[in-house]
Structure 1
Amino acid sequence: MHGVKRVQYSKEALEAKRQRDQAKLKEYLALTHDILSRKKNNDMCREAFELTTRLLRVNPEFYTVWNYRRQILEIDMIPKSSAADTNDLLAEDLNLTTALLKQHPKVYWIWNHRRWCLEHVPNGPTEEDSNGWRMANWNKELFVVEKMLEADARNFHAWNYRRYVLGTMPVRRSELSELAYTSRKIEANFSNFSAWHQRSKVLTALWESNTVDPVKSKEEEFDLVKNAMYTDPGDQSVWIYHRWLVGDGGEAALLKREINTIQELLNEQPDSKWCMESLVHYKRLLLQKHTTSFQPGEQVNLVESCIGLLQELGALDPARRQRYKESSEHITRLST
């Protein structure tokens, strides 16, 4: 790396390191062999469980060992435990995975084990116990996942897990609260595709339930995404979200308005690939769905504009030149 002083090691130091690495590898292979042998022999004892802890701390991507660990919990440990002890066992496993996620935040199997733990939180002796355990575990999960997203706001594993937690919480969190959360993440970084995706899910629920005025809310979203477009016209996530907002192009007035907005941005950013591609996409929707409302000459102008934009895109992005050529031929057919 530039600016980092290269360290020269002596032959003795290199040999000592090689021997340490060999010893670690030998220990890892022996531990792996021991665990897999125990699994094959259906050994469900506590010692086998502790061995899985040791191995998973070294290699948390070893999904077979996670599966074996869950088998031991489900077949031997949980049936022998009281509800309170089971809740404590699962809390310990959640703590283990929290520690592992700090070093391996995108390992699917760690997130998968957390989900399994939540799904096996037991019913307590009383309804108060059950509700207390569930709220404590789910609130902790939401706290953990928010900390993970503070460290990496685009970690899609964390976003997927967040959706799971929100969808299974004993007391559901308000969609308006989640909308505000996505706003904070997007304002911090417009390139956060996962936050935009989460926002689309939340808004769909809000619109379907009429919790917010769909018309007013959607206009506010167009203002937000326009701001994001002008801030970073090269960011793909913003344009994908814009297409979701526009939808299938059922409203000609909306399409024309957004085309004008994007054209204004293209005038300022004449080499913007996403501006050009979006203009072609929305103009094509007009040609497909709204020709009966066109003024004289409007169809011809749209076709010529699309073909011109696709030629520019072919020059700007030669690797996809054939795709742009095929799109141009398709648009030409729409006009005949």
Structure 2
Amino acid sequence: MHGVKRIRYSREALEAKQQRDKAKLQEYLALTEEIISRKKNGDYSHEAFDLTTRMLRVNPEFYTVWNYRKTILVKEFFLKSTPHQINDVLSGDLDMTTAFLKQHPKIYAIWNHRRWCLEQVPEGPTEADPNGWKMANWKKELYVVEKMLDVDARNFHAWNYRRYVLASMPVHRSEQSELDYTTRKIEANFSNFSAWHQRSKVLTTLWETGKANPAQNREEELELVRNAMYTDPFDQSVWIYHRWLIGEGSDATILQAEISSIQELLDEQPDSKWCMESLVHYKQLLLRNHSAIIGAEDRQVVKTSCLDLLLQLQHVDSERKNRYGDLAVRIRDMDI
């Protein structure tokens, strides 16, 4: 591979390496065999638990071992421990998986074990503060996932997990705080599709609960997304969010304003397939939903414009030539 420095071994060094690799494989197979045997025999001892730790450090994708570890915790540790001890054990597993995620940030099994641990946190530490341990763990979890997103702002595993954490916290974080967080992530990188997606989820919640005005928000969001479009008109994330924001039922005034804005951008960036695709999409919506308010002559102009854009797209994005051709046939057959 380009950019990867090749290591040349002498014959003796290569043989030594092969011996080490063979020994590691034998050790791994022996450890696997012992764990499976203990699991089959219903061994839920501390020794068995320590063996799962050893294995998961080597192979954190081993689902059977994760499940065995959970069983040991439930059938041994939890039954014989105080709530304080249970919280300590679970905190230990959370710390362990934090270390794993630094090396393996996209392994489902690690994220799933964290979820399980958080859901087992007992109430306490006192009757007066039953959410004390829970809240402390969930706050720490939000901190951990934010650190993960600082390292890789587009890690969709971390974004999915963040949504889970926010939904599960005993005291919910405000939607406005989360909206501000996505703003920071988007302004740092307009190509962050996961941040745009999270933003759409937050706004939907705000609108459905009546905490925000959709019309006002959309105007503010359109300003944000236009800035992103002009910054990088070739980035797919921005255009997908824009299409979600406009929706299928926008009124003619909004559609015409966006068509005008995108046309201005296309004039500056004549090879932007996303400008062309979006213009075709929004002009179709205009024809389909608002044909009554535009004259017959204007409807034909819009239709012809769509067909011209699709012809250009067949050259600019030739891999999807047939798709654009099929769409042109449907538009040509539209009854306007």
Distance across 1 between alignment mates of 2:306 and 2:241: 22
Per-residue deviation at 1:5?
5.6
Letter in 2 for 1:180: D
Letter in 1 for 2:279: L
Summarize deviations over 1:217-275 as a string: whole Å, max 9, x none: 21110000000000001111100000110011331111111011111100000000111
Distance across 2 between alignment mates of 1:204 and 1:255: 20
Distance across 1 between alignment mates of 2:6 and 2:88: 48
**Which position in structure 1 is the counterpart of 2:74?**
74
**Which position in structure 1 is the counterpart of 2:259?**
259
Q: What does 1:169-318 correspond to in 2, within 5 Å?
A: 169-318=169-318
**Which position in structure 2 is the counterpart of 1:104?**
104
* Contact 2:175–2:202, Cα closer than 8 Å, also in 1: yes
Distance across 2 between alignment mates of 1:187 and 1:166: 22
Per-residue deviation at 1:92?
0.5
2:87 corresponds to 1:90: no
- SS of 2:165's partner is helix
Distance across 2 between alignment mates of 1:319 and 1:4: 32
- SS of 2:296's partner is coil
Distance across 2 between alignment mates of 1:285 and 1:87: 55
Assess, with a 3 A threshold, how the Cα gap between structure 1 residues 147 and 283 changes in structure 2: closer, same or farther: same
Summarize deviations over 1:66-116 as a string: whole Å, max 9, x none: 111111111221111111111111000000100000000011110110000
Letter in 2 for 1:151: V
**Which position in structure 2 is the counterpart of 1:323?**
323
Distance across 2 between alignment mates of 1:21 and 1:120: 39
**Which position in structure 2 is the counterpart of 1:46?**
46
Assess, with a 3 A threshold, how the Cα gap between structure 1 residues 318 and 4 changes in structure 2: closer, same or farther: closer
Distance across 2 between alignment mates of 1:49 and 1:114: 17
* Contact 1:315–1:321, Cα closer than 8 Å, also in 2: yes
Distance across 2 between alignment mates of 1:48 and 1:17: 30
How many pairs align?
A: 336
Distance across 2 between alignment mates of 1:74 and 1:331: 61
Assess, with a 3 A threshold, how the Cα gap between structure 1 residues 99 and 320 changes in structure 2: closer, same or farther: same
Letter in 2 for 1:326: D
Assess, with a 3 A threshold, how the Cα gap between structure 1 residues 112 and 169 changes in structure 2: closer, same or farther: same
Distance across 1 between alignment mates of 2:6 and 2:120: 51
**Which position in structure 2 is the counterpart of 1:138?**
138
Give ranges in structure 1 of 5+ residues lacking alignment.
none
Distance across 1 between alignment mates of 2:4 and 2:204: 50
Per-residue deviation at 1:320?
1.1
Distance across 1 between alignment mates of 2:287 and 2:131: 56
Q: Which moved more, 1:104-113 or 1:214-223?
A: 214-223
- SS of 1:170's partner is coil
Assess, with a 3 A threshold, how the Cα gap between structure 1 residues 284 and 304 changes in structure 2: closer, same or farther: same
Distance across 1 between alignment mates of 2:68 and 2:8: 44
- SS of 1:233's partner is coil
Distance across 1 between alignment mates of 2:67 and 2:7: 42
TM-score scaled by length of structure 2: 0.96
Distance across 1 between alignment mates of 2:141 and 2:4: 39
Letter in 2 for 1:57: R
Per-residue deviation at 1:28?
0.7
Summarize deviations over 1:283-334 as a string: whole Å, max 9, x none: 1111211111112311111111111111111111222111111101111121
Per-residue deviation at 1:63?
1.1
Per-residue deviation at 1:4?
6.4
* Contact 1:44–1:72, Cα closer than 8 Å, also in 2: yes
Moved over 6 A (4+): none
Give ranges in structure 2 of 5+ residues lacking alignment.
none
Per-residue deviation at 1:3?
6.4
* Contact 2:125–2:133, Cα closer than 8 Å, also in 1: no
Distance across 1 between alignment mates of 2:328 and 2:64: 50
Letter in 1 for 2:139: N
Letter in 1 for 2:218: K
Distance across 2 between alignment mates of 1:171 and 1:224: 30
Distance across 2 between alignment mates of 1:24 and 1:85: 35
Distance across 2 between alignment mates of 1:62 and 1:8: 33
Distance across 2 between alignment mates of 1:328 and 1:193: 29
* Contact 1:300–1:335, Cα closer than 8 Å, also in 2: no
* Contact 1:255–1:286, Cα closer than 8 Å, also in 2: yes
Distance across 2 between alignment mates of 1:25 and 1:154: 35
